[in-house]
Structure 1
């Protein structure tokens, strides 16, 4: 339940401010330090901010208690003005009960993360503090020849400028990059392909609201742990949904979204943004037509369930956020506007 009934935005940063770079889930920097170090250099060069590591940032196998201690310490440190997650993982749900809501409420800070960080973003949302969905330093800052343009634009807006941006399609996408242990990963992107037009559904109307949601594989865990918001707190929201590199079949996605419908969440929201999902990994890369079919099947499953529970909701599927690159970082608890007539999306990074 929301602590205050309202969601507050943490203050924006200026050049020279310090930002914590934490590993609340998997400590990817300990596995691939060269990628991490390049990410830190790029972050500092692109923003003028000073990245600060904590004891578990590179510590593989760190306990939930140790990771929670770093999160609590970062929020308690008044010199730290934002917190960036290095990557996701699969056990952050065990960290959340160890966090101190008092330090968060005393000094709200910007938090960026996605995937397993749905746990932390949802928890912050319920403390009445907004964040941003997206922004793995290990995935989107460190690898490749440079930071993608849409990622840098939304990173800068989230951390520093607070402007409103139109969310546009960059025209290319990759499901995964090169192996981090390969030196080429520092200078080359993964295999990219042209993207399809987004799929719009629902009425041709404009809707706007604060956002909530995240990775469906994590939302499923949150539901079992009884940590989801009440549907009443989501009235008028824009729902963000995406799936991970586990590449769940469309039937699983349908069941998860149907569960949100039965909980009353689909009926409560004004719109749904569904991310372009990964459909390949290091172990298997189906041919291009099959990958497009897998994406379309997921879009159809979500659109069908949303229409069943809330035919007034505007839906847009294929938006480049979540487990894809290039990636837009999107407000979490902030405001997104979907224009179902003009078929445009804008996000306020306040």
Structure 2
């Protein structure tokens, strides 16, 4: 397996970079962004540094790569946080200076399209952090979700073990970020239902790899940042989640099938599957429709595993990725999945 190093952590008072390596949405949706910046400053005690493309829609891949290089190379910046995800971060990857980033390792936080950069950092030997975008988690209406804030604080400032736990309540729907009234109250939530375990007869501990499934599919198609020698993933813990684009069960199955045919899927003895996003503005499902969508996705995952990794231990509905609250998963960090005890522990 690739040798991975945990970068040094910031402390309150340090400078952190906020970047937009995927999309400059802060420029057209300032309300959640400014709220997120304020919480980084006031609740986490961090000094925020922005870059030329942080609020710029339509920035070129080279401009976004330049901002990443500047953020990593600046010795006064102690962590790098994505404003939000996007769509084409894959075009930035060929422009990145791997040696520069390897020489200046820093904690990077983000998810969704930022899976591209996480996979790049994994291959560079740097542990990163899947979760915690400025506009979503830090800029959540009303208040940060307590579980999200606790996990983010631990991941940002500490280096020890952190035990994940299922959310007591969670939410799926969103309100318009353009409407100031959206931020006057917290979103509606529903009771949590816990995790579902499969093949939970052993303990698996290893480095994590994975992220947003749709982005991993793009990396497979472009043949980028997914190892040719798939033995590097042996013994690692796979974690996956899907975005608000809500790919169909068949799309999920086909991506996992491609991972299996590539020789990737069968390398992982354990899988953490994030609770799927089941509502979007484009597809505002009822709770019943959302439940059917989630069931179809689970069936697709099980169908792929039955062929390529039938003995893998699986935990469904983990609070990672496009869900609220959200726990941070160290990308390339140590994850322990204890089946008999039904416990998941990560090392930040």
Q: Which TM-score applies when normalising by structure 1?
A: 0.95
Structure 2: tracts of 5 or more residues without a match: none
Which residue does the alignment assign to 1:11? 8
Q: Are 1:216 and 1:242, in contact at CA under 8 Å, matched by a contact in 2?
A: yes
Of the three residues 155, 160, 177, the one matched with 2:157 is 160
Which residue does the alignment assign to 2:252? 253
- Indicate the SS of the match to 1:337: strand
Structure 1: tracts of 5 or more residues without a match: none
1:310 corresponds to 2:309 = yes
Cα distance in 2 for partners of 1:123, 1:29 equals 24
* Alignment RMSD: 1.4
Cα distance in 2 for partners of 1:337, 1:31 equals 40
Cα distance in 1 for partners of 2:187, 2:200 equals 37
Q: Are 1:178 and 1:189, in contact at CA under 8 Å, matched by a contact in 2?
A: no
**CA shift at 1:239, angstroms?**
0.5
Aligned residues: 346
Q: For residues 131-150 of structure 1, what are the structure 2 equivalents within 5 Å? A: 131-150=128-147
Moved over 4 A (4+): none
Which residue does the alignment assign to 2:237? 238
Choose 111-120 or 155-164, whichever is displaced more: 155-164
1:97 corresponds to 2:84 = no
**CA shift at 1:89, angstroms?**
0.5
Which residue does the alignment assign to 2:192? 195
Q: Are 2:32 and 2:141, in contact at CA under 8 Å, matched by a contact in 1?
A: no
Q: For residues 1-350 of structure 1, what are the structure 2 equivalents within 5 Å? A: 5-227=2-224, 228-229=226-227, 230-349=229-348
Cα distance in 2 for partners of 1:337, 1:303 equals 21
Choose 21-30 or 191-200, whichever is displaced more: 191-200
Cα distance in 2 for partners of 1:143, 1:157 equals 18
**CA shift at 1:92, angstroms?**
0.4
**CA shift at 1:163, angstroms?**
2.6
Cα distance in 1 for partners of 2:338, 2:182 equals 38
